[in-house]
Chains A and B, each alone.
Chain A
């Protein structure tokens, strides 16, 4: 059994355990989450299961798109959050929510994530170091942040402002099975596109010129990853708001267990991202705070230092431009 398959199976098992734990644990203690009384059924199936599945799907989508973007751009610091895809997806959704087109929020999130993915991969394709690519992403994210503030500022319905601000902070609180279906559909589409690019990502290990010389169709690889990452990020952001760093942390953790083959990182990174986000959501639910900590805030608090650590290690190895 290959290291990649072993890691995938272990992370799939961890995901199952995490989702089960998310059904069991919470502010209301349940002795048996599968007890046949109405209160337990409501708590487990109407509240905790959609919440846990939304967290898992958003985490899986971000982990998968992070692994794919890192392979495409040959850069371990790439992910939807750092590169501005999440910010733009949120911008699309905020515009839809703020101007009364909430039905179109997921579509807007996907389209805006796609726009950001096209910009960042076009500008970042030729960048030879992690720093310049991250700077492009920082610029895009800041721009998206400014536009989100502008959209909120101009929103015709000020009553919705607080909801919108809360949503952009990232959370899976109060999600329904409709949200689960939406995230699952977009993850399935994104995954199909990204897995179709897997061999091209392997060839890109050799660098752009050699990848083309061994027979990889780089235009097709790039288009598949850009579309796939946009679908994944759009779905994750439409359902969970802005969640940063999962896309960096998941592939980084998986590399230590499954090796560096970009194609073999995709599936375990999805499982790792899903398990990470479900575990993080359990933690924010169990923290004894008056107001529940937002999942996106928790991810940033944990992920920020992890990001800095990875960047510092890369720089010390001379991996920076």
Chain B
């Protein structure tokens, strides 16, 4: 199978804190993987290490290359990254922000070749931003901004999507829209890794979940198998269970 990302015994130290402790993970083409865990579990460090954005020990392969040896452009052609708090420092138009996703393809936001324009248009449509594309980023709601940043990542046309909490702050309908975007990306042969605190969303969207605590992976696999009450309690420190309801899931934490 075509591996888009492979981590083998990867560790990250942030100052005196071990943020990742010998983590291994593989993401194949066509797969969606959700990273779960409490605050400080190492979810963001895992994504940043996967991109080579922070120093890490261990073996990392982004496609067929170590991201730490790749140029920024080559890395961007392999993986698109949506950070936890995406920024738009200047209030540029939505379409211009999405077009920045074409940077690695050599495009400037106001001079897009047909191929780049098509990618931007498709990303805008996939994120339902058609009516907002000529608005400034400072005129959008929090959810609309999040969709614009997701569209920017999609426009990058990288095989792998690394999305750090892409549904934080989104209403349930918009979150389902994100799930559909990920599923169509995977169906087209891409792969996606996303982190979230919404266990039910992760279980319903991802093919596999990775449950982390204190920089370590404590459970991995299809949600219904990996997220046992014992694993959830171990990660979150409270009795909890995952229940299947038809095709969907509910995560229940005891009060």
A46 at interface by CB-CB < 8 Å: no
What 1/0 flags go to B52-89 for Cβ under 8 Å of A? 01000000000000000001110111011111001111
A142 at interface by CB-CB < 8 Å: no
What 1/0 flags go to A193-208 for Cβ under 8 Å of B? 0000011001111110
Is the pair B86, A207 in contact by a Cβ cutoff of 8 Å? yes
- Please give, as numbers and ranges, the residues of chain A lying within 8 Å of B91 by CB-CB distance: 260
Is the pair A260, B76 in contact by a Cβ cutoff of 8 Å? no
Is the pair B81, A213 in contact by a Cβ cutoff of 8 Å? yes
B240 at interface by CB-CB < 8 Å: no
Is the pair A215, B72 in contact by a Cβ cutoff of 8 Å? yes
A263 at interface by CB-CB < 8 Å: yes
- Please give, as numbers and ranges, the residues of chain B lying within 8 Å of A213 by CB-CB distance: 51, 53, 75-76, 79-81, 83
Question: Which chain B residues numbered 113 to 140 have a C-beta less than 8 Å away from chain A?
Answer: 136
Provide the bound-state CA to CA distance between A202 and B109, in Å: 8
Is the pair B75, A261 in contact by a Cβ cutoff of 8 Å? no
Provide the bound-state CA to CA distance between A74 and B90, in Å: 8
Provide the bound-state CA to CA distance between A152 and B224, in Å: 78
Provide the bound-state CA to CA distance between A4 and B80, in Å: 29
Question: How many residues on chain A are close to B (CB under 8 Å)?
Answer: 26
Complex partner residue of B103 from A215, A259, A261, CB under 8 angstroms: A215
- Please give, as numbers and ranges, the residues of chain A lying within 8 Å of B109 by CB-CB distance: 202, 261
Provide the bound-state CA to CA distance between A300 and B1, in Å: 66
Closest-by-CB residue of B relative to A74 is B89
Q: A205 and B97 in contact (CB under 8 A), knowing A213-B76, A261-B110? A: yes
- Please give, as numbers and ranges, the residues of chain B lying within 8 Å of A204 by CB-CB distance: 89
What 1/0 flags go to A255-294 for Cβ under 8 Å of B? 0000111111000000000000000000000000000000
Q: Is the interface of B mostly helix, strand, loop or mixed?
A: mixed
Q: How large is the interface on B (under 10, 10 to 19, 20 to 34, 35 or more residues)?
A: 20 to 34
- Please give, as numbers and ranges, the residues of chain B lying within 8 Å of A178 by CB-CB distance: none
Closest-by-CB residue of B relative to A5 is B110
Q: A206 and B96 in contact (CB under 8 A), knowing A214-B76, A214-B103, A264-B110? A: no
Is the pair A212, B86 in contact by a Cβ cutoff of 8 Å? no
- Please give, as numbers and ranges, the residues of chain B lying within 8 Å of A261 by CB-CB distance: 90, 92, 96, 109-110
Is the pair A215, B89 in contact by a Cβ cutoff of 8 Å? no
Provide the bound-state CA to CA distance between A64 and B176, in Å: 45
Is the pair A205, B92 in contact by a Cβ cutoff of 8 Å? yes
Closest-by-CB residue of B relative to A76 is B90
Q: Is the interface of A mostly helix, strand, loop or mixed?
A: helix
Provide the bound-state CA to CA distance between A120 and B99, in Å: 31
B190 at interface by CB-CB < 8 Å: no
Is the pair A209, B89 in contact by a Cβ cutoff of 8 Å? no
Q: A215 and B92 in contact (CB under 8 A), knowing A4-B110, A206-B86, A210-B86? A: no
B108 at interface by CB-CB < 8 Å: yes
* Nearest CB of B to A78, in Å: 12
Closest-by-CB residue of A relative to B76 is A215
Is the pair A259, B92 in contact by a Cβ cutoff of 8 Å? yes
Q: A214 and B100 in contact (CB under 8 A), knowing A205-B92, A259-B93, A260-B91? A: yes
Is the pair A199, B108 in contact by a Cβ cutoff of 8 Å? yes
Provide the bound-state CA to CA distance between A264 and B86, in Å: 22
Is the pair A205, B80 in contact by a Cβ cutoff of 8 Å? no
Closest-by-CB residue of B relative to A207 is B87
Is the pair A217, B100 in contact by a Cβ cutoff of 8 Å? no
Is the pair B72, A212 in contact by a Cβ cutoff of 8 Å? yes
A selection of 24 A-B contacts at a CB cut-off of 8 Å is A202-B100, A202-B103, A202-B108, A202-B109, A205-B89, A205-B92, A206-B86, A206-B87, A206-B100, A207-B83, A207-B87, A209-B48, A209-B53, A209-B81, A209-B83, A210-B81, A213-B83, A214-B80, A214-B152, A214-B156, A215-B103, A260-B91, A260-B136, A261-B90
| Residues in chain B within 8 A of chain A (CB atoms) | 48, 51, 53, 71-73, 75-77, 79-83, 86-93, 96-97, 100-101, 103-104, 108-110, 136, 152, 156
| Residues in chain A within 8 A of chain B (CB atoms) | 2, 4, 74, 198-199, 202-207, 209-210, 212-218, 259-264
Ranked 8 nearest A-B pairs via Cβ: A215-B104, A215-B76, A207-B87, A260-B90, A213-B81, A215-B73, A214-B103, A74-B89
If A205-B97, A206-B89, A216-B72 are given as contacts, then 16 extra A-B residue pairs at C-beta distance below 8 Å, sorted by A number, are A74-B89, A74-B90, A199-B103, A202-B100, A203-B100, A205-B88, A205-B90, A206-B86, A206-B100, A209-B83, A212-B72, A213-B53, A213-B80, A214-B156, A217-B73, A259-B93
